[in-house]
């Protein structure tokens, strides 16, 4: 077990529309088994003990599934490891003496609320624009009435695995939410349950995405590379196809 | 002592719920539109209740403290959800699921509620499939099942190792649909800080907007708490960091009795603690015990690598002690057995507080591909955290706090002892008795939210249709808001010297040592005074930086830890009061010769329901005697 002494260069911003900037902090004697967020816990306890305000960051499950944690670490959303959220990143991947730069997601539709925390409610509104099957409680048929092949169901699952963290938006030079939106559209377009509302869904969700100010997809595929769930850009192609079909058929 | 009315309907156990449903008073559509319901929480319980109530025509206001309802802690559930579908044709039935749950809970739950849970379990699967939840399927296209601890049938539905995520996203999508329609008003990043009671009835809540620090008053004809479990009272647990007790604790202080507060589930398969910086513990799903074998070396203090220890020098202690269930014994039994081995000096790893969970035989029998298809993401998670590859060497695991069976006491209608205040999901005490079976929390959360509360709340609201909305200028709102404000002001002005985190850690250590896997009278007695001094120290020395008028995570945490400290004391009191062992509650004074939990049905066949009597005043323990008509009480055996 090694120990690390680090310099952290962290974005500090007191509130929405307030000016922000980087501040440097030193943290010493860190254990390499720690997670990245535990390292920030150490910094924060240090700050509290010095009577200054700790760094605000979003986090909850610390298991890579809630999608709450959201930091750009040394220029990459969720840091240097592929397929990993910030909370699942461990300090054994850093070296003693490193300087680590930590910033919030940077994208116009995600204004910075404080320090490393941004507002991701536009993603909720995209789902509200059609990311569901309209089925009231109590009216469902038996679960085995519609067989769904293992292949289709696995494909739908791959899309459904999105944790809604927004790393795709943060990674995209256009701040596009295409991967997020496409994942939900594809999940429901693949499944028989999603067929009845297939057209309205894709139109509603794509329009909402535009309304929220997300940019257009120009196929740089940075989103897939940074997605902690490894969601494939193939779904974006599927979304585009769905969108065109929906519009053609009126 | 108050008399608790559990309101169990008359009639045969198997007919109670259907009779109830056909006779419960209804609220007409026109009246529903005039009624407002507040739901706190958007986990499986809260999201399913909010959407179902809104679909029925009620006006719903829903709150959560995360930035999106989709991030409630339910998202982290891995293994699966039970339902008595009998798709595998292995003899499952509503009665069997009911029986397994009662027995698994060591006969400390209410028969009528558990039977209802088993009855509606099938509808949950149907509902979720219809929403597009991608459950695992067989090649023929039908739904697949796996088995879980404590049962001998395969009734667990799953979606890879992300069942909670997929179920919650299903409920969240239903909720999103109602938000879009305007029938649910959603408040993200809002924390409920108190219940408002008027004329003995719950009539609203005080919430703090976590972004702006503003205090808000909200009126409701009824208030539903769906705020999850309080396992974080132990500091380290598998719960999400922000999971807390504040909502139900404040409700307790307003008159809602607390049921079985000490009943805690310690999950046997978690990644062990590795250092004192640790902020949380990670669960390795129980489903792993389907194919993994648990063992320790036969020799004490054996320092060889697992791979170097030959077969005949390994002690597969669960298979040895419990041949009938082997590695699939219920959680409480598996956890205690691991603790017993480690306490005796057979533990492995650097801290010696770990046992092996080995997939070598499974890989040999099924091939790496099959094992990886079943558990791939869990193996990956293990490797991410520990840096070790479980395909090559066995996982090291140790029990950790996972779930709280205790919670607000509720009657058959899921109403607390405060009129119009309901508790659903993990925050109520119902259904799981003294030990919860795997894959049953998701079932209960969704049963409560989709299929039970939407009916039972009508019983109360049908009598309330003439109550107009009460103005939030009412003095009860004023008083509650001032109390919430004052507490935060006091915290911020305290000028102390110790961080909130350090108090939380200290509380956790007291709880784990004295009120964890093994409990006894002397330790519990001294824990009460330790917690009382911790409380005093907290209010003298805690240091909370920042302000009240903007986002201040330290302030949020401080309020939660203050409530955890008080709850900790109540848990210890309950554990002390119940001198029998049952399920996860193991009193060292009450065990069989073989070291198994020994129940005392003559004296403890009841649910404790604690009543708040004032700050620093001893609470009163009331009880609901449990009646068993359909099952015969036996000493639980998994041998
Ligand atoms: C790691 C892990 C794995 C699990 N795996 C399984 C499994 O495989 N099968 C199974 O059956 N069970 C499992 N469980 C248990 C199960 O996940 C939980 O019991 C269940 O999801 C709880 O759901 P809930 O709706 O009651 O609460 P939660 O999902 O915890 O939701 C609580 C909600 O309340 C809100 N809230 C709380 N307090 C306040 C407040 N004061 N103000 C405003 N909002 C508030 C939160 O924001 C959140 O939205 C697992 C648990 C863990 C920890
Ligand atoms: S904290 Fe939940 S995904 Fe990182």
Whether residues B252 and B177 share a domain: the answer is yes
State the Cα–Cα distance between residues A124 and A121, nearest whole angstrom. 5
Whether residues B247 and B373 share a domain: the answer is no
Using CA atoms, how far residue B377 sits from A63, A166, B374, in Å, is 12, 21, 8
- Say whether B428 sits in a helix, a strand or coil: strand
Domain of B515, CATH number, reads 1.20.58.100
State the Cα–Cα distance between residues A146 and B133, nearest whole angstrom. 13
Domain of B350, CATH number, reads 3.90.700.10
Instruction: Give the angle subtended at the CA of B342 by the CAs of B336 and B347, to the nearest 5°.
Output: 135
> Is the ipTM of this structure higher than 0.95?
yes
Q: Domains in chain A and their CATH numbers? A: 3-114 (3.10.20.30), 120-246 (1.10.1060.10)
Whole-structure pTM value: 0.98
- Say whether A186 sits in a helix, a strand or coil: helix
Whether residues B115 and B210 share a domain: the answer is yes
- CB of B559 shorter than 6 A to ligand 1: no
Whether residues B255 and B119 share a domain: the answer is yes
State the Cα–Cα distance between residues B26 and B32, nearest whole angstrom. 10
Q: Which of A83, A84, A76 is nearest to A35 (CA)?
A: A84
Token match 């069942």: residue?
B163
Please report whether residue B196 resides in a domain. Answer: yes
Please report whether residue B633 resides in a domain. Answer: no
> Tell me: the pLDDT tens digits for A20-63?
999 999 999 999 999 999 999 999 999 999 989 999 999 999 99
Nearest CA to ligand 1 atom 12: B441
Nearest CA to ligand 2 atom 3: A64
Q: What is the pLDDT of residue B1?
A: 52
Whether the CA torsion B439, B445, B450, B451 is positive or negative: it is positive
Q: What is the pLDDT of residue B330?
A: 86
Average pLDDT over residues A57-83: 97
Whether residues B243 and B290 share a domain: the answer is no
Strand partners, B320: none
Q: Inspect the interface and report whether the beta carbons of A133 and B132 lie closer than 8 Å.
A: yes
Domain ranges, residue B598: 475-625
- DSSP-derived secondary structure letter, A146: S
Decide which of B438, B461, B484 is a domain's last residue.
B461
- Say whether B219 sits in a helix, a strand or coil: strand
Query: Which portions of chain B are predicted below pLDDT 70?
Result: 1-2
Please report whether residue B11 resides in a domain. Answer: no
Whether residues B210 and B133 share a domain: the answer is yes
> Tell me: the pLDDT tens digits for B78-118?
889 999 999 999 999 999 999 999 999 999 999 999 999 99
Number of the ligand closest to the Cα of B205: 1
> Tell me: the pLDDT tens digits for A116-162?
999 999 999 999 999 999 999 999 999 999 999 999 999 999 999 99
Decide which of B461, B490, B506 is a domain's last residue.
B461
Whether residues B545 and B604 share a domain: the answer is yes
Q: What is the pLDDT of residue B161?
A: 85
Q: Which atom of ligand 2 is nearest the CA belonging to B71? A: 2
Pocket test for ligand 1, best of B47, B65, B125, B157 (most atoms within 8 A of CB): B65
Whether residues B60 and B185 share a domain: the answer is yes
Q: What is the pLDDT of residue B476?
A: 98
Please report whether residue B631 resides in a domain. Answer: no
Name the domain count of chain B: 3
Q: Which of B551, B622, B341 is nearest to A13 (CA)?
A: B551
Whether residues B585 and B503 share a domain: the answer is yes
How many C-beta neighbours within 10 Å does residue A249 have? Answer: 7
Q: What is the pLDDT of residue B512?
A: 96
Kindly list the residues from chain A whose CB atom is less than 8 angstroms away from the CB atom of residue B177: 128, 132, 134
Whether residues B200 and B74 share a domain: the answer is yes
Q: What is the pLDDT of residue B596?
A: 87
Please report whether residue B395 resides in a domain. Answer: yes
Whether residues B302 and B393 share a domain: the answer is yes
Q: Are B492 and B547 in contact (CB under 8 A)?
A: yes
Residue B382: CB partners within 8 Å, gap ≥ 6? B271, B284, B388, B390, B395
Please report whether residue B468 resides in a domain. Answer: no
Residues making up chain B, counted from first to last: 639
Q: Where are the alpha helices (DSSP H) in B39-191?
A: 44-56, 94-104, 111-131, 163-181
Decide which of B358, B385, B400 is a domain's last residue.
B400
Residue B464: CB partners within 8 Å, gap ≥ 6? B35, B221, B222, B420
Phi, psi of B323 (to 5 degrees): -55, -30
Residues B517, B523, B527, B530: what is their CA dihedral angle, to the nearest 10 degrees?
A: -130
Using CA atoms, how far residue B143 sits from A147, B146, B157, B371, B386, in Å, is 8, 10, 8, 19, 33
Sheet holding B258-259, edge to edge: B407-408, B258-259, B606-611, B620-625
**Closest partner residue to B142 among A141, A144, A161, by Cβ?**
A144
Q: What is the pLDDT of residue A1?
A: 61
Strands A99-103 and A3-13: parallel
Please report whether residue B5 resides in a domain. Answer: no
Q: Are B396 and A79 in contact (CB under 8 A)?
A: no
Domain of B217, CATH number, reads 3.50.50.60
Pocket test for ligand 1, best of B42, B74, B117, B243 (most atoms within 8 A of CB): B74
Whether residues B505 and B443 share a domain: the answer is no
**CA count, 13 A, side-chain hemisphere, A34:** 22
- Closest alpha carbon within chain A to B184: A128
- Say whether B62 sits in a helix, a strand or coil: strand
């Amino acid at each position: 077990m090694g120990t690390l002494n680090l310099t952290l260069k962290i974005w500090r911003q007191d509130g929405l529309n307030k000016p922000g900037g980087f501040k440097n902090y030193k943290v010493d004697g860190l254990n390499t088994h720690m997670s990245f967020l535990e390292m920030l816990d150490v910094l924060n306890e240090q700050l509290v003990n010095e009577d200054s305000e700790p760094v605000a960051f979003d986090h909850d499950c610390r298991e890579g599934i809630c999608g709450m944690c959201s930091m750009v670490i040394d220029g990459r959303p969720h840091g240097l490891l592929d397929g990993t959220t910030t909370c699942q990143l461990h300090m054994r991947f850093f070296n003693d003496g490193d300087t680590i730069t930590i910033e919030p997601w940077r994208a116009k539709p995600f204004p910075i609320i404080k320090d490393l925390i941004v507002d991701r409610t536009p993603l909720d509104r995209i789902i509200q624009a059609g990311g569901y099957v309209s089925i009231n409680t109590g009216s469902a048929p038996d679960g085995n009435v519609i067989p769904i092949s293992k292949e289709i169901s696995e494909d739908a699952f791959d899309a459904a695995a999105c944790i809604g963290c927004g790393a795709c938006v943060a990674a995209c030079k256009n701040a596009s939410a295409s991967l997020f939106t496409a994942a939900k559209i594809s999940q429901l377009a693949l499944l028989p349950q999603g067929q009845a509302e297939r057209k309205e869904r894709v139109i509603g969700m794509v329009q909402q995405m535009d309304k929220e100010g997300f940019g257009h997809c120009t196929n740089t595929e940075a989103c897939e590379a940074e997605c902690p769930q490894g969601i494939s850009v193939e779904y974006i192609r599927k979304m585009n196809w769905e969108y065109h079909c929906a519009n053609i058929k009126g | 002592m108050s008399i608790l009315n559990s309101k169990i309907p008359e009639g045969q156990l198997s007919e109670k719920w259907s009779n109830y449903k056909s006779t419960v008073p209804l609220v007409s559509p026109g009246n529903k539109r005039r009624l407002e319901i507040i739901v706190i929480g958007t986990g499986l319980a809260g999201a399913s209740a909010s959407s179902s109530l809104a679909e029925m025509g009620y006006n719903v206001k829903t709150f959560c403290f995360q930035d999106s309802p989709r991030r409630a802690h339910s998202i982290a559930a891995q293994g699966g959800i039970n339902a008595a579908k009998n798709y595998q044709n292995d003899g499952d039935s509503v009665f069997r699921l009911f029986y397994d749950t009662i027995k698994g809970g060591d006969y400390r739950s209410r028969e009528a509620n558990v039977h209802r849970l088993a009855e509606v379990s099938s509808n949950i699967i149907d509902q979720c499939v219809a929403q597009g939840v991608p459950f695992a399927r067989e090649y023929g296209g039908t739904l697949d099942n796996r088995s879980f601890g404590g049962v001998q049938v395969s009734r667990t539905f799953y979606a890879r190792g992300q069942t909670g995520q997929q179920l919650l996203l299903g409920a969240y999508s239903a909720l999103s649909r109602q938000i879009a329609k305007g029938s649910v008003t959603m408040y993200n990043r809002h924390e409920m800080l108190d219940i408002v009671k008027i004329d003995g009835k719950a009539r609203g809540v005080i919430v703090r907007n976590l972004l702006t620090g503003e205090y808000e008053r909200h009126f409701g004809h009824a208030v539903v708490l769906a705020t999850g479990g309080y396992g974080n009272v132990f500091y380290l647990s598998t719960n999400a960091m922000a999971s807390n007790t504040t909502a139900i604790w404040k409700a307790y202080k307003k008159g809602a009795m607390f049921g079985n507060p000490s009943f805690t589930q310690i999950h046997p398969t978690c990644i062990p603690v590795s250092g004192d910086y640790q902020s949380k513990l990670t669960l390795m799903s129980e489903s792993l015990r389907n194919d993994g074998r648990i063992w320790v070396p036969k020799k004490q203090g054996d320092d060889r690598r697992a791979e170097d220890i030959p077969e005949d020098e390994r002690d597969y202690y669960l298979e040895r002690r419990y041949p009938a269930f082997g590695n699939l014994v219920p959680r409480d039994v598996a956890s205690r057995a691991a603790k017993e081995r480690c306490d005796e000096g057979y533990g492995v790893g650097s801290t010696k507080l770990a046992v092996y969970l080995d997939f070598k035989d499974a890989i040999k029998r099924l091939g790496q591909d099959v094992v990886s298809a079943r558990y791939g993401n869990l193996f990956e998670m293990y490797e991410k955290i520990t840096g070790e590859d479980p395909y090559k060497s066995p996982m090291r695991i140790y029990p950790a706090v996972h779930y709280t069976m205790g919670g607000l006491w509720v009657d058959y209608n899921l109403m607390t002892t405060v009129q119009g205040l309901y508790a659903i999901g993990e925050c109520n005490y119902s259904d799981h008795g003294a030990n919860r079976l795997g894959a049953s929390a998701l079932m209960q959360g969704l049963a409560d939210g989709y299929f039970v509360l939407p009916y039972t709340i009508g019983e109360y609201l049908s009598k309330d249709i003439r109550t107009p909305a009460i103005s939030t200028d009412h003095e009860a709102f004023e008083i509650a808001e001032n109390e919430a404000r004052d507490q935060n002001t006091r915290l911020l002005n305290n000028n102390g010297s110790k961080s909130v985190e350090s108090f939380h850690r200290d509380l956790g250590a007291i709880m784990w040592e004295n009120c964890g896997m093994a409990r006894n009278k002397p330790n519990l007695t001294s824990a009460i005074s330790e917690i009382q001094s911790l409380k005093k120290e907290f209010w003298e020395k805690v240091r909370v930086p920042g302000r009240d008028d903007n986002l201040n995570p330290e302030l949020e945490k401080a309020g939660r830890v203050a409530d955890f400290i008080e709850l900790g004391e109540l848990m210890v009191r309950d554990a002390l009061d119940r001198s029998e062992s049952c399920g996860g509650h193991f009193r060292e004074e009450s065990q069989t010769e073989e070291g198994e939990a020994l129940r005392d049905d003559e004296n403890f066949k009841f649910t404790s329901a604690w009543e708040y009597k004032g700050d620093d005043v001893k609470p009163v323990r009331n009880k609901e005697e449990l009646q068993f008509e359909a099952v015969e009480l036996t000493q639980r055996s998994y041998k």
